[in-house]
Structure formats: structure tokens, C-alpha cells
Amino acid sequence: MNVLLIGGGNRLVDALINKLNKSSHKIYWLTGQKEKKVSRKNVFETYHFSYTDSNVKDIIESVRPDVVLFTGAYDTDFDWKYNGQEEALRYTTAVVNILTAYSMLGEGRFIYLSSQEVFNGSYANDISETAAVSARGFKASAISQGEALCSNYREIQGVNTIILRLDHVYGLPEKGQTEGDPCFEMCLEALRTGKIPANSREKFSMLYLNDAVELIYKVIEKDDAEHACYHISSMEVIDGMQLAEMVRDKMGGEIAIIDRPVGENRRLVLDGRRYQKEFEQRIFTHYEKGVDRVVQYMKQYGDTFLKVGDVGGRWSGKGWHTAKRVFKSLLPFIESLVCFILFFMLNQQTVGSQYFSRLDFYLLYVLVFAIVYGQQQAIFSALLSVLGYCLQQAYVHSVYEVLLDYNTYVWMAQLFIVGMAVGYMRDYLRNIQEDKEEEIRRLYEKIEGIAEINDSNVRMKQNFEAQIVNQKDSLGKVYEITSQLDQYGPEEVLFYAAQMMGRLMNSQDVAVYLVVNDDYARLYSATSADARKLGSSIQYTAMDEMYNELREGRVYVNKTMAGDLPLMASAVFSEGDMQLILMLWGIPWQRMTLAEANRLTIIGTLIQNALVRASRYLEGLRQQRYVEGTNVLNEDAFTKLVIAFLEARNKGLTECALLEIQTGRQGCEQAADVLSNSIRSTDYLGVLENGKLYALLSNTNEHNVEGVMERFRIAGYDSLLKEAEV
């Protein structure tokens, strides 16, 4: 297989080259640099061209790759630190040129590496591939724009593009190079200052570099990927404090952790289940092993990452860095002394020479150090030159004659004037350059700050526009929507109440739990798999944090982002007793505010009548519409109930199972009397038109119905699972 690798040289590119070479693929590499600065063995052909060069088209046509892998978010050819705006424009232009050239080939696959940076903010649940991107900053916006370009070329021109979003990749860094992952930053701070700043409110997931390469290779190998976008993530959630403690334990020494809980809770973890399902993902390097590798590597090569002013984390480190700082300060003086000896000897050898007698080596010596080091070294070299001149003249004349010679002072003045003037100009130009770079850096920081403020203002503007246009927050609109529950039958209200709540609260994950006693509540309906994560039965009184709020009639808001609790919850009461618990999951952290809680209270109050009426009506069914003398629903009541459950199941609002009871020669009444102890309070027994006894099991699917069938079998009755057409 011919693979064209596009991206600047770094550890990721090296690992990809090694993996592809071991798998016997022919590797071509487009570096994106005109200068031949990098080269790698095991690469069949290396192309040193800019991404915007017209030769990119010729390269692709010549190689005719089966797979093009563009490193994208991990391409080191782009400097995002100080030139974000210019690099964003250059990056987008590069992606357009590469995709345009590749689309003309009409074959193969184009793989684009993206990252978690295209998402911003906090997400209560793992972020799926279908979630809308929310990029902030020049780099993130450029990466997301690259994703959009890949999607457009796929949809419009039929180019087989695949987007791989990698979640917080970390690994062994290049010597002396800085990385942006949390593990590297904490290790660097530990080496620099002996302290690790950590934010316990940040939760994320990291993926070791070698694992990332293995998972990328699985996509390269497969010719017919089912989807156009995949998230590659370990999904092992860790917070900033846990990572800092791990780094400290591996680092050793007196490393202090400073907890800086800045801002609100922030959780950003990519959902890699789509990739796992299709490619059978396996993580080899977990945090303990991966962090230990990074820490040991940075301890071994710490000198390449530290600056002269860094004090280090231990006394030995402090002494070593102090010695390095002193040596670096003395190095120009040592160089000046060594060069002085060389120029002194040259001047001695050229005395009386026909060709070099008029050449002043001392003046050249002073000029060299004035140009290289500035005014300070110009003065020092001039003093050494004066000393050498006096020593040289002492061989011929007495010291008294040398001191009285007018030419000696003229020569010394000339030496100091020229040296100090050149040194001053060198220092002046250097200061101008440093001031310019500092001003540019400060202006870019201002631009980033203005961009963040603008993003926030745009989001607020869009929210206000949505409120004005859609009027979702108005009581009239809420009442109009909730009043639609009246059109449903009593058996259906509880199902569609969940759907209605999701529409009003702009959430795809809503669950309705029916309180069955003073301790437990059973799931009645839910709009998604995430909304069912607590299970079909919960002991709500054991959820102290949530229960205490609901018991007092308040809306529960999950401020700690606890994974085993909903993000927001509200209870519906009837005559002082808790009847229903409404739970919301898929809500961004930014919307978990007092205003949203008040809106949920209003919505819950407006739909309370319909929900309580339905609950009472269903309870009335058990008493009024039963076969006389039994707990079996008659044909009409049971038929309506089954239809309501099956329609709700088809819409994804609930799960249910219908069992046909084999009563044999015994009547339905006798069988129902025996089986009533084997079903839950939310399950129903009834008869259909064939006169046979059936059991309708709520929140039960074909995978867990075996337990109920076993209980029936123990009670002496066999049962058969029936499909929806019954």
C-alpha cells in the first residue's frame, strides 16, 4: 500500500513511519517545508515543498497513494503560539490546496487528524461524533474548518475523507521542544519550580502516543470504514488533581501540588464507542505506565527543557542550575580571553610584515566582540587590547616612554570609541527587536482575549435571538406545548411527558421515574440510552444530595458534575406525596443556572395536572377494569395498555416485553393469582382477544426477560416472548 504522509517532523510522524514500515507499506512524505531540514530513514521518498505549492498536485499524481494521512492538528509546520491569525489563514489555504489536488485523483482515502480542541466548554456526557463543534481560538477554529472542508469534499465531490479526532494525546516529547498536553506541562512545572499547579475542576481523558498510532493504523488498514468521523479516546476520565498527584509520585523529591480550582467545573471527554464497536479498540498504555514514561524521560533530559533562570525542584537541581547560570554569564568573558590570546599572537607575528603591518588586530578583536556581544564585551575586550598593546610596547620601550607617548592615548581613544559605538548600536538594535517581539506577543494575547470575549458575546446574542424568535421561555409557549399532553390517552401521557420535557428543556436525554414506594422508583419512560444510565430501578432516598433537594420541593442541580446523578432533576407531588421524578442529563454546564432551574419548575408545575391525572387513571385501571374477582385486566383495558407501550417502545421512549402465559387446563384466574407475586407493581396481567393470559413487563427487553420467565417457570407456568404484532 502506498501511503502519503503529510506533516512536519515530530514524534507522531516518527511513530507513524515506524508503524507503516514494519507493516511493509511504501511511505512517501510531504514535509511542508521548502528547506531540507528534516529527513527520516524508512521513507521511500521525501518531498520538501510548501502545502500551497502547485507541485503538490504533481506529487499526488506521481505517488497515486492508496491513503493520504494529513497530521492536521498535530502538524508542527504551523506556529500557533504568536501568529495564530496568520497561521489559521495559511492552514486553511493548505487544506484547500491539498484536498483540491487529491480530489482530482479520484481514488484512495484521505485521513484528517483532528483533536479535542474543536470542542470548548463543559460536557456532562462523553462527546459523540454527532455533537456540533464549538471551537474557540485561531488554532481550534482552523482545525474545525479543516474538518468542514473534508466533509464538504466528501458530500459534494465524493472524496473518501475520514476525520479522526484524538483525545488529549501525550507521550515522550522531543528534546528541548514544548508540548501542549497536561502531562508535559505538569512535568515541566515540577522541574522548573518544584511545584505543580492543578485544577481539580477539570476532567479529561488522555491517550498515549503509541496507542494513538496503533488506533490510527487500524483505520488506515480498513478499506471500507462505515462512518466519516471517529473519536479515538481512552475514555479513562481523570481530573487535574489526580494527574498532578501521579506526576508527583513518579517525580519524587519535594514536589508540592497547588490546587487552583479556577473557573467552573469543566469536563471534556470524547466518546470513542463508535470506534470501539467497529475497530475493536484496545488500550495498552494506561495512565500509570504512560505518565511514568514521560516523567522518567523528562527527568533524564531535563536540561534540554529548562531555562537558565529555572531553579529546579530539588537542592541538587538548584545548585546545578545556579552553576549553569554562572557559567553562561562567564562564558563571553572566557571566550574573550581565549580570543585575546589568539589575536595577541597574530599581532606579534605580523609586526614588521610588509603586508600586515598596517592591520590593527586589536581593533578587529574589539569589533568582533562588540558586534557579537554588545557594549559590555566591547569595553572588556578593549581593556584586554590595551593591556596587550602595553605589554608588546614594553619589549621595545620602557613603561615610562609608553605612558608619555601621545599616540598611545590616541590609539586607546580610537579603540574605545569604535568599540563602544558599535556595541551600543548592537544593544540598541537588539532591544528594539526584543521590544518588537514583546509587543507582537502582547498584541496577539489581546487578540485572543478579544476573540474570547467576542465568542461569549456572540453566544449570548444567539441565545437572546433564539428566545425572541422561538419564545420558548414564555409561559404562553410552555403552556401551549404542555397542553398538547391532553390529546394523548391516559396510558400514553407518562411516555410523551418525557418527550415533551426534552423539547421544552432542549435536552435529548430525559427520564421519568415512577415512585413505587418510600424508597424506590422505577423507570417509566426515557428518551435516550444515556437517560437510562441509572437503571430501571433506583433507590432515590439513597441519593442524599438529590433527594434532600427534591424532598424540599426544589430543583436539584448537579453542581459537582457527579457522574452517577442527573444534571438536573425535579419531582412531581400529589397531596404531599412524591409521585414522579423528572431527570435531565444532556445539558451543557453553561445552562445549569438558576434561570433554567426556575424554568424547569414552571414546566413541571404546568404538566403536573396531566401527569397526576394519568397516574391516577392508571391506578384506577387496576381496580375498575379488571376481570371480576381477579387482578387481570380485561380485553379492552389491556389492549389499550399494550398498544400504548408498544408505540412508545417503537419511538424509543420505553422498553417492554409481552409474555404469553401457558396456563394449560387451569384458568386465567388461578394462574393470575399464582403469578401476581412474581411480577412488579409496574407490570400488568391481562387477556387479549384469543382469551389467553399475557403479562406486560415494563422496562424489560429481550435480554433481561429471562429472569421473569424463570420466575414464572418456578411458579409452574411456562411463557413465550411475543412480538409487537400480537
Cβ contact 596:603 at 8 Å: no
Q: What is the pTM of this model?
A: 0.57
Separation in Å, CA 528 to CA 478, 581, 596:
22, 16, 21
**Continuous H helices in 352-405:** 361-373, 375-394, 399-404
DSSP strand pairing (237-239 vs 202-205): antiparallel
Q: What does DSSP say about strands 266-268 and 718-722: parallel, antiparallel, or unpaired?
A: unpaired
Round to whole Å and give the CA distance between 91 and 145.
9
Task: Return d(Cα 637, Cα 614) in angstroms, integer.
Answer: 14
Which residues fall within 8 angstroms of residue 142, CB to CB, at 6 or more apart? Answer: 87, 88, 91, 92
The torsion angles phi and psi of 18, rounded to 5 degrees, stand at: -65, -45
Q: What grid cell was written down for 617?
A: 387513571
Which residue matches cell numbers 409557549? Answer: 477
Q: Is 227 helix (H, G, I), strand (E, B) or coil?
A: coil
Alpha-carbon distance of 202 to 244, in angstroms, equals 12
What tens digit of pLDDT does each residue of 605-617 get? 766 666 666 656 6
Tell me what pLDDT residue 315 has.
Answer: 54
Residue ranges, the chain, pLDDT below 70: 36-38, 253, 261-264, 307-322, 324, 351-357, 396, 399, 402, 448-449, 452-453, 455-457, 459-460, 462-494, 590, 606-626, 628-629, 665, 689, 723-726
Q: How many residues does the chain have?
A: 726
Look at residue 150 in the predicted model and tell me its pLDDT: 94
Burial of 167-194, coded b for 16+ CB within 10 Å and e otherwise, reads: bbbbbbbeeeeebebbbbbbbbbbbbbb
Distance CA 606, CA 332 (A): 81
Q: What is the pLDDT of residue 1?
A: 87
Instruction: Evaluate whether 314 touches 248 at the Cβ level (below 8 Å).
Output: no
Compute the Cα dihedral for 399, 400, 406, 412 and give only its sign: positive
Q: How far apart are CA 654 and CA 527, in angstroms?
A: 8
- How many CB atoms are closer than 10 A to CB 277? 10
Best CA proximity match to 201, nearest among 152, 256, 151, 265: 265
Integer Cα distance of 170 and 206 in angstroms: 7
Distances (CA, A) of 610 to 320, 486, 487, 606: 75, 7, 10, 8
- pLDDT score for 612: 62
Q: Are strands 161-166 and 109-115 parallel, antiparallel or unpaired?
A: parallel
Domain annotation for the chain: domains and CATH numbers: 1-166 (3.40.50.720), 322-437 (no CATH), 500-617 (3.30.450.40), 626-722 (3.30.70.270)
CA angle 43, 45, 49 (to 5 degrees): 115
Give 89-123 as a DSSP string. HHHHHHHHHHHHHHHTT--SEEEEEEEGGG--S--
10 Å CB burial of residue 111 (0-12, 13-18, 19+) is buried
CB contact set of 469 (below 8 Å; sequence gap of 6+): none
